[in-house]
Structure 1
C-alpha cells in the first residue's frame, strides 16, 4: 500500500525517476540515440506520441505502427515539423488481428533494421 502511495505522489525510485518523470527528463542522460531503432505502438496520440517526439528529438529511428495510417502520417508530420532530420517509418498494424501482426513482423524484418526498443 505504501509503495502505491509513493508511486502515485511521484516519489522517485531506484532509477531516479518516478511517475511524474517526463520522457525529456528520462532521456537527458542519453542525448544521442541515432543508433537506436524504436517501434512505438500508440504513437499517434497521448503518451505514445510524446514518447515518439522525444525519441525523435534524441535522434532515434522510429517505426510507427498503426491501424489508422492517416493518423500515423499526421503524427509523423508533427514530429518532422519539429525535428526535420527525423527518420520515421509508418507501417500498418492492427494488434487485434494476428494476421496483421504476422504481416507487420515480416514487413519490419524486410527493412533489415535492428530492433532496440519496443514500446
Structure 2
C-alpha cells in the first residue's frame, strides 16, 4: 500500500519517486546563478549536479573544501560544460558567512537561486 502512495503521480505528473533530472527535463537555466549549501555530499551534491546539468552557474558552499572539490571534479567530468565553483562556508561561524558573502559578491553575479 505504501509503495503505491509513494509512486502515485500528482497533478504535476510527478510523484515522490520522481528524480530531479526528470522534473527539470527540458529546462534551460543558462544564465541563472545558484548557491547550494551543503553541496559536498548527499542531496546538496545531487542538487548541484542537476542544476549544472540544466546550465545554472552553481556556487557550492561547503565546509570541507577537499570534499567539495572532489564533487565539483566529478560533476565537471560528467558534464564538461558545467559552471561550478567551490567556496568555503561554515554556517556556524558568522565570520565565515561574512567572508563567503564577500567572496560571492566580488564575482559580480546575480543570485537567482539559494538552496
- TM-score bracket for the superposition, by shorter chain length: 0.7 to 0.9
Paired residues, number: 113
Secondary structure, aligned partner of 1:40? strand
Question: TM-score when scaled to structure 2?
Answer: 0.87
Structure 1 residues 100, 15: closer, same or farther in 2, change over 3 A? Answer: farther
Paired position in structure 2 for 1:28: 25
Do residues 72 (structure 1) and 82 (structure 2) align? no
User: 5 Å matches for 1:1-119?
Assistant: 9-30=6-27, 32-119=28-115
CA distance in 1, matches of 2:7, 2:101: 36
Unaligned 5+ runs, structure 1: none
> What is the aligned-residue RMSD (CA, Å)?
1.9
Runs of 4+ residues over 3 Å off in structure 1:
10-18
Question: TM-score when scaled to structure 1?
Answer: 0.84
Cα shift at 1:14: 4.8
Unaligned 5+ runs, structure 2: none
Secondary structure, aligned partner of 1:53? helix
